[in-house]
Every structure is written in C-alpha cells, then in structure tokens.
Structure 1
C-alpha cells in the first residue's frame, strides 16, 4: 500500500471470505484495491450476499491475521451480512447434480478430459449448479469432460463409513474398525503374517498426532474448506460427502467448489488441473470485486461526462 501510494494511488485492503459472496467454499484471502489519486475515489469492498457463522478454526485464524490491522493503516472491515441473507452455498448445492463416480471401479493410470459425463436430471440442479452450467460464454448443455478422480483402492471403505465433517483421527479409527471386523470375518488371528498384511490393505499408515487435518469429509449442508494448490497431489482434504461413492472429489467438482463455470476448460492432465484450481481466485469472488470497481469507475465516468456536458452548455449559452 505504501508503494502504491508513493506512485499516486489511494489504496485499501480487506480480508474477505468467499463464502459470503456465493462461493461454496470457506476461503479467506486478502484483497487490495487501488485507484489513481486524481480520481478522488474512495476504496470500498462488496457487500455480502450470503451469511454464515464461520467455524472456530476459521474465525480463530482471522483473529490472528487481523491482530495488527487498523483502519488508519488502510484496512477495511469486510461486510459479513446478517442472518436475513440466504445461507452460504453448500457442497450439495454446488456438486449434487454431477453424475456419481464409484471410486472402487476406477483404475490407476493417466486421466484424460475426453469423455462426456452427462448431468443428472435438470431437476437435480440447484440455482448455483444452474449458474455454473449456464454462465454466459462458458455454457455447457449436456455435461462435463473433466469429471475424473484418482484411484484410491485402500481407502474407499473408510471414505464410505466416515461421518460427515470427520478428520484424519476419525478416519483412522474408522479404518481400524473395518480392519478388525474384516479380520474376524476372515478368521485371521492377530500376530500372524496374514493379519499384518491385511492391516496394510485397510488402515492408512499416517501418525494420528502428526496429521490431524490431513483428511476431511465434506458436509453436504455446509460450504467446503479451502481448496489449496497441493490438491494437485493430495485430494484427501476433500472427500466426497456421498459415502456410497467411496472417493475424493473430481477435477470438475473442485472447479465447481471454486466457482468455475462448467464450460471453462483446464490445461494439462488431472494434477495440473487441480493445481490451477487451487491457485485461482474464485471467479464469483473476482466478479463481486469487479462489480464494485466497475460501480466506482462508472460513477466517476458519469460524473466526468455530466461535468463536460455542463461545461459545453455553459459555453453555448455564453456564445
């Protein structure tokens, strides 16, 4: 901000969570807007269109991030809306109309974006899903071509039985229960080689104390957690809420949760597409900011036009 002001700009910034602006994802990011000083334009940020009470982890992180900010230093409090606003877009509203994928049927290998995955019946699509299908310039009438996932055969049964909102400790405990149940059903005794080998095929090897947040199963009735760039290597942070499918989210589901329209195509293979999505600014969030900037510059342009018209009128009257 100091650098921008030194170059003749008026700047301000805010910490905004995309869930307040129609994105089905709790994603806190700092946004900075600057206008040339001669425009005489005050920096403001978009009003919330949705409302949500952020869970403790997000509200706590915000409190730490904002500890040293103040209005004099250019920080502007974001609008958090009120309970009269519609609730934030949920995971089910965002991806519930996309066709199911049975995780146990997916085999290892490269994933290409050349097969059409038809939408479910139109009646299954919520308003958000319809927006993603029909975004001007990026419409997709029949389905999507990048609805692909990784092959994760060991963890499918755990994905199925994990409760919504569960993290790795609960996933580990779930896998242990499945293992013990399976060993009993197969009459495999503890301490045997077969017992140890069976455990490897069911129970993940990660230390519960070291990886408490490594896994997370989506809640269908709530926005999802932040999509990070490393989702290109690890999608366990977003396990599909539909346990019957036994899988993590697909490329297109990640795109939907980031608010990319269905007609937007990603370059490269699956991992690269995931990384592009995780690194991006959610298009709906960018659109909200662009609208606010457009309003400010449009008002300024209108004022300038009116001033010019008034000046010309005065000149005509004088003549």
Structure 2
C-alpha cells in the first residue's frame, strides 16, 4: 500500500536542524522560511543532499563539501524548485502576504507546521525583564499563528527556551496559548531535555504541540532512551587538533563506535568536514590548561577570581565569573548556544593534550548533526547556526511520534 506523504513547512528554520529530524522520520518538506542568508544557504545545500540521496547520486555532494567544486557548479545539478523552496525573508507584517503567495500552490497540502521563533528575548530574561514586552521578537508567535490560519495544518510543533514560560510573569505564554486556541488548536506543552533522546548535551527546551480540535491527541509520550552516551563517545574518532588548526576535510582517525553507529552520525562517508578550531592567545591557553586540569581531576569548574593574577585581564570579579567552562567529556555537555560564535571560552575541549575550544564539527556533534551535514558561511556563521539549532536527534524523536499519531 502506498504511504501518503506528510507535508510540512518549517518556519524560522535556522540551519534546519528540526527539519532534519522530521525528514529522517519520513516527513516531506514543502518550504523552509528563514531570515539569515547563510542559514538559508545551509538549508539549500542540505535540501540538495536529500534530493541527490533520493536519486542515489551523492558523488557530486561529496565533491562539493570537500571544496573541489564551487557552490554555483554544485547547485546546477539540483532542480530549481528544490532550491526555491528555501525562502530567505524575515517573517513580519510586510512580508507575510508575499510569502503566502509564493506558497499558494501547496495551500491544500500542508499537514504540519514546525519551527521556533528566535528566543534571545527569553534567554536574556534576567537582564531585560523591563523590556520584555517591547521586544518585537516576543510577538513572532502571532506571525507563526498566521501560517496556521492560512494553511490550516492538522498539527504544529513550536520549540522555544524555558524562559518563554516565565516571560512577563507568565502572561506572555498565557497569551500565546490563548491565541493558538482561538485559531482552533488544542495546545499542550512540556519541558524536554535533549539528552533523553541521544543528544550528548543537557539542552532543555519547551515543546508546544497543537492539534486541530477534531484530532486531539494531547501531549505525546516521546520515547526516552535508557542508555546515556558521553561527549567522549561523540568526539573519540575525530583527529586531534592544535589551536588554530583545521581541515576542510580529513579522514577519521579510527572506526566508529557504538554511539556513532547507533545514531548514524557517521553516515556512510569515510571523511569528516569542517573540523576546524580557533586560534587562542597564550593567556587563554594557560587558562584553558588550568581549567581542563581542574575539571578532569577534581570535577571543579574554575571561576575567574580563582585564576592566578598574571592570567587576569580585568578587575571585575563578581559578574560572569564562569566565563571559562570545560565540556564534560565523561558525561553530557552543557547547553550549546549561539554565543559560541563569539568566542570558545565556554566550550573548552576536555582533552588537556589538545588544549583549545571545540571545533565546528565537534559543536555539530554535540547538537547531533550527522557528519555529512555541511554548514555554509564562515566559521563564526557555522558556530552561530549550530548554537541556534534544534538537535536533529531530539527532533527525530518528536517527529516519529507525531507521524504515528497523524
């Protein structure tokens, strides 16, 4: 019996980490909408990958991510409608009608809408409480709702940071739920931790599920994994790097372990791309070495006031004192955020021999992106896209259950 395609639109798509999980669960993307140009190029390149994979013609993709052909040359192999399904635009009052026109051909065929509007306003809640209602990003759920109204999908999945629940003393979230209910959806939410779904990262996120009232399944019971893997499991096969060292692509240093095999992070290629690290000055390297030693031997997080005087650069010893943080090799990482694009101090590699911040590929693995997922743009742009993303393995766990219910 032929299986019906379940079509979806991804709003505020970022680098398409959430979409990746849904595609791997068998959903069909109709469109991705994202305002950041480099992220849009990443989505286009990934859409090209999925198209070529379906045709069993991935050789040109591998040639491209190795840097042997240009992006322009690579895109010539891809049907225009695949690339054009990625819409590079900011969703606001001025653009939304044009977006609807562009997507009108598929209007009757949208089963699901996914996405998570930018969440910086909620993440920084502690420092900007007084401005929370004046930040235009807080009203992006209304734009999200306009897509629900226009395309009337059977369900939606909305992802955001836990700070969403407490914004403006809870009033903001109350308004959000009331708005979605007014549009004809029963709305449920839970706080999920990505580490329960194969991601080697303690990343807590609010997942809001909406169902059309005639198909109300409540909040689904997503299957958690009993066996927990570690950061060292995720990093083990990657070649060692010195600070500032990196490779466009390089062979793995050893065979894949059970973690990489089980979750398909090393998915069919014998090389890894974007294993590139930052340069660090001598002072930072000295701090890193101290921080790694303290963490690995005593499980102590070094604080700025604890540093030797010769390593301190300022006299403020009361705020941001945990600026230097080692990733926990024997457990799961702390949350990867977009600030990793600014500096690597909060994401120091646990191997004292390497003594550096993590590479682009290591950050991608902490977020559970497969190794053949290629991030467009500069190293900083790649870090930012990774930090902002929904981990694909977490999205996959959600998608599997949503598909079953739909």
Same fold (TM over 0.5): yes
Asked whether the equivalents of residues 265 and 368 of structure 2 are also in contact (C-alpha less than 8 Å), the reply is no
Please give the secondary structure, in 1, of the residue aligned with 2:219.
coil
Aligned pair partner of 1:18 in 194, 206, 213: 194
* Structure whose CA Rg is larger: 1
Aligned position for 1:129: 260
Unaligned runs of 5+ in 2: 1-176
Distance in 2 separating the partners of 1:264 and 1:31: 24
Aligned position for 1:89: 229
Asked whether the equivalents of residues 167 and 214 of structure 1 are also in contact (C-alpha less than 8 Å), the reply is no
The Cα shift of 1:258 comes to 0.4
Asked whether the equivalents of residues 45 and 289 of structure 1 are also in contact (C-alpha less than 8 Å), the reply is no
The Cα shift of 1:229 comes to 1.1
The Cα shift of 1:208 comes to 3.3
Aligned position for 2:401: 292
Please give the secondary structure, in 2, of the residue aligned with 1:216.
coil
Aligned pair partner of 2:323 in 206, 214, 234: 214
Aligned pair partner of 1:253 in 362, 378, 381: 362
Alignment of 1:40-51 (within 5 A): 40-49=216-225
Unaligned runs of 5+ in 1: 50-84, 180-198, 298-319
Matched, 1:28 2:213: no
Matched, 1:167 2:296: no
Question: What is the root-mean-square deviation in Å for CA atoms of aligned residues?
Answer: 2.1
Q: TM-score, normalised by structure 2?
A: 0.51
Moved over 6 A (4+): none
Matched, 1:266 2:378: no
Distance in 2 separating the partners of 1:101 and 1:93: 17
Aligned pair partner of 2:248 in 97, 115, 118: 115
Distance in 2 separating the partners of 1:115 and 1:213: 32
Matched, 1:145 2:273: yes
Distance in 2 separating the partners of 1:204 and 1:117: 37
Asked whether the equivalents of residues 326 and 348 of structure 2 are also in contact (C-alpha less than 8 Å), the reply is yes
Q: Which has the higher strand share?
A: 2
Aligned position for 2:344: 235
The Cα shift of 1:126 comes to 2.5
Distance in 1 separating the partners of 2:315 and 2:272: 35
Aligned position for 1:196: none
Instruction: Give aligned pairs, total.
Output: 223
Deviations 1:89-141 (A, max 9, x none): 211011121110022xx37xxx8xx621221110xx32222334444xxx4x2
Deviates more, 1:11-20 or 1:155-164: 155-164
Distance in 1 separating the partners of 2:315 and 2:220: 46
The Cα shift of 1:213 comes to 2.0
